[in-house]
Amino acid sequence: MCELHRTNNYDLILLDLRMPGLDGFQVMTGLKEIETEGYLPVLVITAQPDKKLRVLKAGARDFISKPFDLAEVLARVRNLLEVRLLNFEMKKLNKKVLAEQKVSERLLHNVLLEAIADRLKGRPKIVADNSSEVIVESFPDVTVLFADIVGFKKFSEGFSTEILVEVLNEIFTHFDSIADHRGVEKIKTIGDSYMAAAGLPIQAPNHAERAAHMALDMLEVMDRFNAQSHYQLDIRIGISTGAAIAGVIGKRKFLYDLWGDVVNTASRMESHGVAGRIQITDATRLCLGDTFLLENRGSIAVKGKGEMNTWFLGRRNDPLMAQQSAVI
């Protein structure tokens, strides 16, 4: 019987307890090993009504005592088949729900930082009228990076929108890979600008080094991109270090964002920087120590900040770190 079911995959089995060879209980034991995840209705018909409880424990879905009425047997068979069909449909629905849930979770993790996405999944359902929950944290030290493609507006005049989107997508995808490799969190893109931060949502003592390595990797990626595409694009990068507040606010269309003077300063380092170079503040320089070769740019007038002493970030002093950048 078990081998027949393995071959034919029956929808329902009528079984007597007394049979030549294996008895009904042995058959049901064998069927359990085959139907580890399925639902196989077994209807036992027997002249031993005292064994009903044992029969049901053995795996039978229903029990009829002899002598039996054919109409009753047919009704029981119909009910068991309907239950099997319902069970099958429920499993299909459950698999579909689980698959859609995985897609939703993957999308959520793509939009938000993993640690923040996990926290949002654990929150109760948000009701727009009465929920004011926010996820906001203070960080004493983070390093913020801004990068902007220089002259992209002029560059865009000679290409279709589709090509421009493909160009930005390829470049920013490379930047995303660098961020993952260096332990830096992408915050967002704004047009042809890219914003990232190190040291959040999980604090890291080497946040400035992570951002610096990422910035140098970004310059290398742009060189390779230009060599392969024959474009002449360049980026300008600014970095600053300081305290910040970060989190998710609002009730819909969640976005993990960053606030504080360090954000404005990093943006100014980029906008007041030089194409193809990385400009950093004194605060970032102090965090970097002698890990990198630095060039003092001197004092410059920064909009909204006044005079600031800034530095250009050069190559890495550690050859191993330079080699590791080649994996991007």
Q: pLDDT of 246-304, one tens digit each? A: 887 666 666 778 899 999 999 999 999 999 999 999 999 999 988 899 999 999 999 88
Contact 268, 302 (CB under 8 A): yes
Q: Indicate the residue type of 292.
A: F
Contacts of residue 97, Cβ cutoff 8 Å, sequence gap at least 6: none
| pLDDT at residue 120, rounded to an integer | 57
What's the angle, vertex CA 135, arms to CA 130 and CA 136, rounded to 5? 125
Q: Indicate the residue type of 217.
A: D
Domain(s) labelled CATH 3.30.70.1230 in the chain stretch across: 128-327
Q: Which long-range contacts (CB under 8 A, 24 or more apart) does 123-126 make?
A: 126/251, 126/252
Mean pLDDT of the residues in the chain: 83
Q: Indicate the residue type of 144.
A: V
DSSP label at residue 51: G
pTM exceeding 0.85:
no
CA 131 to chain centre: 25
Which residue, among 200, 172, 199, 213, has the nearest Cα to 316 in the 3D structure? 213
Q: Residue 322: pLDDT above 90?
A: no
CATH number of 2-95: 3.40.50.2300
* Matching residue, tokens 């009730």: 251
Contacts of residue 26, Cβ cutoff 8 Å, sequence gap at least 6: none
β-bridge mates for residue 298, sequence order: 310
Tell me the C-alpha to C-alpha distance, in Å, between residue 281 and each of 179, 272, 295: 21, 12, 12
- The domain at 128-327 falls in which architecture? 2-Layer Sandwich (3.30)
User: What's the pLDDT tens digit per position in 185-243?
Assistant: 999 998 899 999 999 988 899 999 999 999 999 999 999 999 999 898 999 999 999 99
Alpha-carbon distance of 263 to 82, in angstroms, equals 63
E strands in the chain: 13-15, 42-46, 62-65, 135-150, 185-190, 193-198, 234-248, 256-259, 278-281, 292-302, 306-316
pLDDT band at 130 (very low <50, low <70, confident <90, very high): very low
User: What's the pLDDT tens digit per position in 29-64?
Assistant: 887 777 655 678 888 888 887 888 888 888 788 888
Alpha-carbon distance of 316 to 307, in angstroms, equals 28
> Is 132 strand, coil or helix?
coil
